[in-house]
Structure formats: C-alpha cells, structure tokens
Amino acid sequence: MNLSYFISKRISLEQKQGFSSTIHRIAIFSIGIGLGAAIVSFLIMKGFQETVKNKIYSFSGHLIITKFTMNNSTDEQPMNFYIDVYQHPERYPHVRHVQEFSHKAGLVKTDTDILGVVMKGVGKSFDVKSFKENLLEGEFIQFPDSGYARQVVISKIIATKLNLKVGDDIIIHFFQNPPRFRKLKVTGIYETNLSEYFDSKVIMGDIRLIQRLNDWSDSLAGGVEVYTDNVDRIDDAGQAIGQAMDFDQNIERVSDRYQQVFEWLNLLSRQVNILLGIILTVVCVNMISIVLILVMERTQMIGMLKALGGGDRLIRSVFVYQGISLIMKGLLLGNAIGLGLCYLQYQFKIVKLNPHDYYMHVVPISWHWEIVGLLNLTTFLVVTVVLLIPTMVITRISPIKAIRFD
C-alpha cells in the first residue's frame, strides 16, 4: 500500500471526533453546497433556454425559406413552395419536416371590440404535434379536402382582449384593395407567453384562405418552414438546402429572425458561468484554509516524519490524499443536493413563475447528464490542484521546531 495513503487513512480514523471532525464536515458541506448550487443553476438554465427556444421553433420551424427580394414592403412575395426540399426532405441531411406558410394582416371585429392581427396561414403539412404543446383549449384547425377551413386558432391574450372563447364566431377584415372580410369560428386557444412576437398579434388559419384572398394559385405561399432532427445541426441542414435552392430564394435561420431572444438566452449562459467561477473560488478558498488548519494541527507529526527521513513530497501527499477524500465526499453530497432539488422541481413543479415575465409557468429542469459530469470533473480537478498551495507550507517546517510545537 502507498505509504502516504496509509498514513492519511490512519489520520482520518483518528479524527472522527473533536475539532478535526468539525473541520472535515465544514469542508464536505462547503463543497457539497457549491456543487449542488452549480448543478441546479445549470440544469435550470438549460431548461429555460430549451423551453423558450422550443416555443419559437414550434411556431416557426428552424429554418425559413422565402422569396428573395430587394423590396422593403411588408407584404410577402409569393413563391412556389413545391421546391425540392419540400417534395423530397429525405434527400437532405437532418431535415425532419417541411411545411408551407403565409401571412396576411387584418382587423378582428366583434360586437364590441376591434383588434389588429396577423393571420398565419398553414396547410395540411403543418406540424400539429409540435404546436399542440402551446394549445390550451379546443383543437387545431380541421382542413377539408376542398375549399378552405373557416376556422382559426387564437391566442389567450387575443381571446381575453376580445372576450372570446372556443366556438365563438369572429369577423376578420383583411387589408387589401378592395377590402375583404371573412366570418370564421374559433376552434382553439394557444399560449406561448411570447406575447411580443406571437400571442399579442398572431392567429392561425388555413393557408388556402390567404391564397384565395391574394388570388394566388394553390402552389404559391409566403415561404417554407424547415424542421431539423437536431437543433445542433441547423447550420448543416441550411448549408445543404442552400446549395440546392434557386438564386431567387433566401434561407434564414429562425434564431437570426428572433436574434434578440437568442442573444438574451446566450447571455444567461455567460451569467451562469460567472456564478460557477464564483462558487469554485469560494470552495477553493475554504479548502486552502481547511488544509492549512489540518497542517498546523499535525505539525508534530510532520516533524516526526521528517526526523525519520520522510521527504516533503511524502508528507505533502498525506494531506493531498486527505483533501481528495474530503472532495469526493463533498461531491457525493453535492450531487445528492443538486439532483435531489432538481428532481423535486421536475416532478412536482414546486417553484412557480409569472409567465408574462419568464415565458413559462414553472421553473424548468432539463436533464443534461454530460453537464453534471463536467461540473463534477471540473470541481474535482480545480480543487485538487488548489490543494497543492497550502501543502507548500510543509517544506518550510523545521523537524526540531515541529517536534517541540504545542
């Protein structure tokens, strides 16, 4: 057995009571609290980022293909959406689903109120499964085989402003020359809590209604939305699609269209990384103080070992092994605290949020085990390296003075 490790184990057995035992508990507790706080912070941050991004992606896809134009008009330029990626998505890497869309502005009129809205027209290819996470009441539009659906899905905000509920009829006056209007039925109410981008103005309808209002053929739409099978492969899919597109078409990432939201989410990552740095700093300072106390408490033992021929490296290793033992126990405690709190929140939704401020009703948890493993490894390596600093005091201890030390 390694002599340094053997001495360290004997010291630990002798220190199960008294002052040294208290110091050990403080060290374990400080590491455990620090790691637990880091785990909770990172899993909440990832949950928050993924929840907000998924709300945007469920509404707009990952990539958007539109007609390229130099016109500054807000009106969409129609394009033939029967492009190759629409008809043969399996030919393109990481492309999961493709759907057409179009927008048209108008006014919703009830008996007592008027509200400006934008109708997003979608067809039978629309990914209803992804959107259903946002559906609060009712059901999505039922598309008939011929004609167009006289149904709409509105947001909870619009429903509240206009005092509407599922089953009510609304009249939409569309902006065009000459003006046209349609009477439609509310079949569902959605909520993303992203009111600035969707809930305050967007209603869902049949794209064939917009095609008829604009005098477009059935093959024309405002654009095409592309869903990928992996959000980390959006750029790869976009590059493959871009190479096969016509020169009069433009492909855009949804993250670029909603750049402010994604930059804000990236800013959260930076803040959590700063928090991790602060936690590691506090833990390292605590461990330096604790190891110094342990060295001072064992000054006579250090002097005795030096008198018997023990080198500085051997004696420093004794305290490093002690420190590593405390770190491992602290990591176990930290994982129990962090993962335990995250599990309780994930399972029972204990901590609630104001959805108008945070875009969701509860604090989200996203399980990323690679992040948990990386936090454990980072904490272990950083604190272990820092342990070498206080053990340098051992090289300056004189054997004779140490043996007389009391």
Domain coordinates in residue numbering, the chain: 3-55+262-404, 69-246
Q: Residue 346: pLDDT above 90?
A: yes
Over residues 220-242, the pLDDT tens digits come to: 999 999 999 999 999 999 999 99
Look at strands 202-206 and 114-122 and give their pairing.
parallel
Q: Cα–Cα distance between 43 and 385 in angstroms, integer?
A: 26
Q: Cα–Cα distance between 228 and 230 in angstroms, integer?
A: 5
- Residue 295 pLDDT grade (very low, low, confident, very high; cuts 50, 70, 90): confident
Q: Residue 55: pLDDT above 80?
A: yes
Q: Residue 402: pLDDT above 60?
A: no
Comparing 334 with 313, the larger pLDDT belongs to 334
- Residue 163 pLDDT grade (very low, low, confident, very high; cuts 50, 70, 90): very high
Convert the chain into a string of H (helix), E (strand) and C (coil).
CCHHHHHHHHHHHHCCCCHHHHHHHHHHHHHHHHHHHHHHHHHHHHHHHHHHHHHHHHHHCCEEEEECCCCCCCCCCCEECCCHHHHCHHHCCCEEEEEEEEEEEEEEECCCCEEEEEEEEECCCCCHHHHHHHEEEECCCCCCCCCCCCEEEEEHHHHHHHCCCCCCEEEEEECCCCCEEEEEEEEEEECCCCHHHHHCCEEEEEHHHHHHHCCCCCCEECEEEEEECCHHHHHHHHHHHHHHCCCCEEEEEHHHHCHHHHHHHHHHHHHHHHHHHHHHHHHHHHHHHHHHHHHHHCHHHHHHHHHCCCCHHHHHHHHHHHHHHHHHHHHHHHHHHHHHHHHHHHHHCCCECCHHHHCCCECCCCCCHHHHHHHHHHHHHHHHHHCCCHHHHHHHCCHHHHHHCC
Q: Residue 405: pLDDT above 60?
A: no
Over residues 274-286, the pLDDT tens digits come to: 999 999 999 998 8
Q: Residue 204: pLDDT above 90?
A: yes
